[in-house]
């Protein structure tokens, strides 16, 4: 096996041993300092990771609170709109049951609500009446009767 190192006997064994030990001590010091630096760096990264984890949990909690607040507001608005639709459908069915025709455009009492968080009694605007090709006033009340039979189906 010729690829191995071939060492020759040293003329000064003490000097050679001293140089080898000196090299190894310097390498040991360098490596020890590098271990200290790497350990400090790892500690800093660990502390930063902990801060990031706490911040992430805080953001997650704030997001959940925000979503809960927005959802509750949305549900309140949605339920008020559903109640209004039920009320309008009841009025339509009562009018149809009594045989009365829908009121003319000048006598229209159909009103819509603006979208804000105020009560149902505030900010009510009169809905504009559009004319169709047959000169029949087109209001949300008329549209509600035409779309009454539609229901959403799940797939």
pLDDT digits (tens, 9 = 90+) for 93-123: 999 988 865 554 444 454 555 455 444 444 3
DSSP β-ladder status, 130-131 and 111-113: unpaired
Whether residue 132 is predicted with pLDDT greater than 50 in this model: the reply is: no
pLDDT score, position 112? 52
Q: Do 75 and 122 lie in a common domain? A: no
pLDDT score, position 119? 44
pLDDT digits (tens, 9 = 90+) for 61-73: 999 999 999 999 9
Q: Is residue 2 part of a domain?
A: no
90-94: long-range contacts, CB 8 A cutoff, minimum separation 24: 91/141, 92/141, 92/144, 92/145, 92/148
Q: Do 76 and 43 lie in a common domain? A: yes
Highest mean pLDDT among 8-17, 41-50, 116-125: 41-50
pLDDT score, position 101? 55
pLDDT score, position 3? 64
Domain that holds residue 30: 12-100
What pTM was estimated for this model as a whole?
Answer: 0.42
Average pLDDT over residues 1-23: 83
Total structural domains within the chain: 2
């819509």: which residue's tokens? 112
């Amino acid at each position: 096996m010729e690829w191995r190192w071939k060492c020759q006997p040293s003329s000064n064994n003490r000097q050679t041993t001293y140089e080898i030990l000196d090299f190894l001590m310097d390498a040991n010091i360098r490596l020890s300092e590098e271990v200290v630096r790497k350990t400090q760096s790892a500690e800093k990264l660990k502390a930063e990771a902990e801060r990031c984890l706490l911040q992430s949990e805080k953001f997650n909690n704030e997001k959940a609170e925000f979503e809960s607040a927005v959802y509750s507001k949305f549900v309140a608005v949605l339920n008020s709109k559903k109640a209004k639709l039920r009320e309008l459908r009841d009025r339509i069915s009562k009018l149809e049951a009594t045989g009365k025709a829908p009121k003319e455009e000048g006598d229209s009492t159909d009103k819509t609500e603006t979208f804000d968080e105020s009560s149902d009694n505030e900010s009510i605007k009169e809905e504009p009446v559009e004319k169709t090709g047959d000169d029949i006033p087109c209001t949300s009340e008329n549209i509600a009767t035409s779309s009454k039979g539609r229901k959403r189906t799940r797939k």
